[in-house]
Amino acid sequence: MRTSSQLLLNFLLNAAWQIALIAALASVGAWLLRSSSARYRHWLWVSALCLAFVVPAVTSLRVYFETATPTTIAPINGTELVLPRSVAAGVSANSVASPFEFQLNTNLALILIGLYGIVVLYRGFKLVQAWQTTRAIKRNAHELEADDNVAAIINKCESDLATDSRGVRVLRSETLPVPVTMGLARPVIILPDALLREGNAELLTSAIGHELIHVTRQDYALNFTYELLYLPISFHPAAALLRRRIKQTRELCCDELVAARILKAEVYARSLLQLAGSAPTLRARARRLPVTTTVGIADADILEARIMSLLTKPRVTTRWKKTLLFAVSVLLLVPCVAAAAFNMRFDVAAQDVLPQEQRRKQAEQELEKKGIREMRSADVLQEKIARDPQFRGELELRREAELDMRAIKQAALIRLARINMDQAIQIASSQQPGKVMSASLDAKGWEEPGKLARDGQVFYHVLIADEAAENTFTHVWVNAIDGTILGTDKELPRKQRSPGNQ
């Protein structure tokens, strides 16, 4: 449970700034490509949405694998340290402490996870609701009656687009205010009855041609994929911007293809204006259209931009276009790769106390209240242990608590050390040649078990035997952060000092 919570918290923390960075880079790239074809800007926004999910996911997985460790750790001197599962899950024997690590207590972590879960559940509910609304629209649609005029328009659009629409069903709807396209395996185009009754050839050609292009581009399936990608990052406002830009540029792409292959740009622009402005009832009903997973001619609320895009020809040459595309690709991808490597991490283990450890701490306090520390006589203590099972159990709990606190301290030492023990031994040996007898990792200045005070110090203590002088040993203390020598001391083997005594 703790591992999954940390994985999710790391995803949220890194997504908070990485998605904002990706959206900013995509905005700059879209501005650079403003004079080029809309399809390049569309794929730029699509790539940005994919990266907005992939980059935080990769970063959180990297943090997870860097901090994952087995329960048993074997130091260099051969003694094994067995950590509790709650401690071992977040410690790595070879990990390097990150300067961008944030400590969270359990309550705050649960609040963040809970809020994120509420947002994702709400967005998931809205997506399911939109899917059900889409299915209801399809169920309420009817087969299109034989109409030579509509059949001729469909054949013309097929010919201009060089596509075969025999697998595409064209239906009509009495309630649908705008043309839409839906269907993953079997595409369906639904036309409003009001549009069919009007019988305007230009409007029908614009609507049918636009929807056939959606079918050709498989926009419905792609749009559904984008919605699934958006779901886990829907908490971020920048992700909503990426999603909106994808919808807008998708419509601009279809508009460009209609103007290039089916109708003249001026005619198609006039049709868009008529579809949006000449029928007030249709426009008013379109605003009340429930959220669906369909794609259609009225998806993007950027009519003015669509008209201007149709009437303005791209001014970018082929050579300059390739240069721009390469520059925008580098602009988007290189910072994203760097962002994936530059990770921040939430750590909720070091300062939190698990329920079992709380019970052990309470047992220790009870033992202190009973005066266990005042029992100086080993005989009295052994007698009490032998005749009092409850006391014996409390003593065992205290011993387990002490072992766990020691393990937590050792885990914190391993996490804080920037250099490993082999490097510390090499540094000590270069300062004092000889035979290394032992090496250990320790610290002074604990604020609490598992948390070092600001003025605390993590160090390696290396004991080196002097080969030139018998029974002479040198103690070397090496800073575990930067590898500097904290101090050395020559004395007899069993007179070891700590750096604080120098």
* Across 390-395, average pLDDT: 75
Is residue 27's pLDDT more than 60?
yes
Mean pLDDT over the full length of the chain: 78
Check residue 232 and give its pLDDT: 95
Rounded-to-integer distance, Cα 465 and Cα 463, Å: 7
Is residue 454's pLDDT more than 70?
yes
CA dihedral sign of residues 47, 50, 52, 58: negative
Check residue 195 and give its pLDDT: 86
Check residue 250 and give its pLDDT: 93
Is residue 351's pLDDT more than 50?
no
Is residue 500's pLDDT more than 80?
no
Is residue 374's pLDDT more than 90?
no
- Which tokens go with 291? 């959220």
For residues 392 and 229, the model is more confident at: 229
Check residue 363 and give its pLDDT: 63
Rounded-to-integer distance, Cα 279 and Cα 417, Å: 71
Is residue 56's pLDDT more than 60?
yes
Check residue 147 and give its pLDDT: 77
Question: What are the E-state strand segments in 63-199?
Answer: 72-73, 81-82, 101-103, 142-143, 169-173, 180-182, 188-192
- Which tokens go with 213? 């292009």
Radius of gyration, CA atoms only, the chain: 35
Helix (H, G, I), strand (E, B) or coil at 433: coil
Check residue 279 and give its pLDDT: 43
Are 36 and 316 in contact by the 8 Å Cβ rule? The answer is yes
Question: What are the E-state strand segments in 119-186?
Answer: 142-143, 169-173, 180-182
Count of CB atoms situated within 10 Å of the CB of 369:
8
Check residue 426 and give its pLDDT: 85
% residues pLDDT > 70 (the chain) = 76
Return the H-helix or E-strand segment holding 295: strand 295-296
Options 3.30.70.890, 1.10.357.10, 3.40.50.720, 3.10.450.40; CATH for 417-501 is 3.10.450.40
Assign 184 a pLDDT band (cuts: 50, 70, 90). Answer: confident
Is residue 211's pLDDT more than 50?
yes
For residues 243 and 71, the model is more confident at: 243
For residues 165 and 40, the model is more confident at: 40
Rounded-to-integer distance, Cα 381 and Cα 384, Å: 5
Beta-bridged to residue 189, according to DSSP, are 170, 181
When mean pLDDT is compared over 209-213, 281-285, 367-371, 428-432, the highest value belongs to: 209-213
For the chain, the domains span 355-414, 417-501
**pLDDT per residue over 247-272, tens digit each?**
999 999 999 999 999 989 899 988 88
Are 60 and 11 in contact by the 8 Å Cβ rule? The answer is yes
Lowest mean pLDDT among 98-107, 270-279, 317-326, 413-422: 98-107
Is residue 288's pLDDT more than 60?
no
Assign 408 a pLDDT band (cuts: 50, 70, 90). Answer: confident
**pLDDT per residue over 194-206, tens digit each?**
888 888 888 899 9
Check residue 446 and give its pLDDT: 75
For residues 343 and 445, the model is more confident at: 445
Check residue 277 and give its pLDDT: 59
Check residue 431 and give its pLDDT: 79
* Across 75-92, average pLDDT: 41
Is residue 427's pLDDT more than 70?
yes
Check residue 95 and give its pLDDT: 38
Is residue 447's pLDDT more than 90?
no
Check residue 368 and give its pLDDT: 64
Is residue 159's pLDDT more than 50?
yes
Assign 89 a pLDDT band (cuts: 50, 70, 90). Answer: very low
**pLDDT per residue over 220-237, tens digit each?**
999 999 999 999 999 999
Assign 81 a pLDDT band (cuts: 50, 70, 90). Answer: very low
CA dihedral sign of residues 274, 275, 279, 284: negative
Lowest mean pLDDT among 118-132, 139-153, 274-288, 422-436: 274-288
For residues 216 and 68, the model is more confident at: 216
DSSP state of 183: -
For residues 116 and 401, the model is more confident at: 116
Check residue 90 and give its pLDDT: 41
Q: Name the residue type at position 32.
A: L
Is residue 73's pLDDT more than 90?
no
What pTM value is reported for the model? 0.65
For residues 296 and 126, the model is more confident at: 126
How far apart, in Å, are the Cα atoms of 281 and each of 194, 208, 278, 292?
A: 10, 20, 9, 20
Question: What are the E-state strand segments in 336-407?
Answer: 345-347
Check residue 66 and give its pLDDT: 64
In 3D space, the residue among 463, 499, 487, 483 whose CA is nearest the CA of residue 419 turns out to be 483
Check residue 472 and give its pLDDT: 79
Are 64 and 72 in contact by the 8 Å Cβ rule? The answer is no
